[in-house]
Amino acid sequence: MKRFFFFVLLPVFTSSIAVLAQAPVISFDTVISGLSQPIEVVHAGDSSGRIFIVQKGGAVRVYNKDYSFRRNFLVVTGISTLGEQGLLSLAFHPDYKNNGFLYVYYANSGGDLELARYRISANPDSVNVASRVILKTIPHPTNTNHNGGELHFGPEGYLYLSTGDGGGGGDVPNNAQNTSVLLGKMLRFAVDTTSVAPYYTVPADNPFGNEIFAYGLRNPFRWSFDRLNYDMWIGDVGQDRFEEVNHRRYDSTRGINYGWRCYEGGAAYNSSGCGPAANYTFPVYTYALPPTGGGSGSITGGNVYRGELYPDLKGYYLAADYTSGRFYKIKFDSVANTYDTSTQVVLPGGIVDFGETEEGELYATNLNNGRLLRIVSSGPVHYTFNGNGNWDIASNWMGNKIPPATLPVNCKIIIRPSAGGECVLNVQQTVPAGTEIIVENDKQFRINGNLTIQ
């Protein structure tokens, strides 16, 4: 057996054909099925590669990177699952690997909205359920809809939470415009400042002296930070006429009024007590709802793709309509400050969340058929080996994607084993002209199989 260790770039063969830029075509691979109303997919940021699936009924399931089930990570009790209620979101503390804190957002048994903190047990796949403490309970009387909401940590370490306007229709109490009420808002909590109840403080620069960070939202069920620059993208569910996507750069999100109920999308809805249009920040994209109630019906906000597998998809924000299955692909040009948007129907509907793995690859959960879906893009693929061991083990590859035996034209293989690891080619691999194989500096690549470079 011969051992080969490469510490330089292998020969590169590329094509010089220019192709006009166009939005990539999206498709799905089902990677996990048999779930019970999966409502969110997240990762722990602890370098474990694990995938956590939040189910509306209260269970959080944990899976290995290769999609094999480990166990129930947590079951949240004392919740209501009527209508749009249930367990809605999970976020791991940025220092979870050391402090073991995680946060959940749900409708409690009385229908009010609740933010709680748990701590991991001695078993890394099992939460200590006795560790639960309540940070905030938000009254949500009468209605079971418009709860929001999603949890994310910002770059400053604060915890953000989106809430709906309280439900019903038309926001009759005008909660979204009331900066003394926590409904219809983006909230922000400092969760590292105190170890006693309520286990958070209000950040000093929150604009209204309370938990409110931004306001004027109807039902921001799904939103995200762009992992590259922390720009905020919000999918806000509309009333009768428009669904909307809001985007703000990270340094210009504080105190923003997104307009509801004065405006739905960019159109006036209820002008009672409203100020001039210049007081409001309007969406960067809207789409109309059909007047008969058929077709589109509810936007699911998504993420900006920052993974490595699909270079043509990089920088696109993805969102979907829950009812129609129509996808919205938005590319923001930060220099020209413009948005290019294209649409594509990817049936069936039922998408209620987009989430990232630690590697930045995108997945979606389908509430209707109980599946976790991997987002796949047209165009070239960059297959990245980032594990340790044999070539033919899927979990050694980013996104569990092993390159085909003959690498397709314009595609690339990147050898980047984990620290102290190596990549062992134990199969036949052909790298034709017009493709690349790259071994990154100081990374080990051993050939036990047959590597053909044409």
Q: What does the pLDDT read at residue 225? A: 98
Q: What does the pLDDT read at residue 140? A: 97
Domain boundary residue among 347, 377, 407?
Answer: 377
| pLDDT bracket for residue 137 (50, 70, 90) | very high
| pLDDT bracket for residue 21 (50, 70, 90) | low
Same structural domain, 391 and 310: no
Return the minimum-mean-pLDDT range out of 17-21, 79-83, 340-344, 349-353.
Answer: 17-21
Residue 5 belongs to a domain: no
Residue 61 belongs to a domain: yes
| pLDDT bracket for residue 10 (50, 70, 90) | very low
Same structural domain, 216 and 264: yes
| pLDDT bracket for residue 347 (50, 70, 90) | confident
What is the count of structural domains for the chain? 2
Same structural domain, 433 and 406: yes
Per-residue tokens: 433:
């002209």
Same structural domain, 275 and 310: yes
Residue 406 belongs to a domain: yes
pLDDT-above-90 percentage for the chain: 92
Same structural domain, 302 and 412: no
Domain boundary residue among 359, 377, 395?
Answer: 377
* Residue 120 structural domain: 26-377
Same structural domain, 366 and 443: no
- Does this model's pTM top 0.85? My answer is yes
Same structural domain, 284 and 365: yes
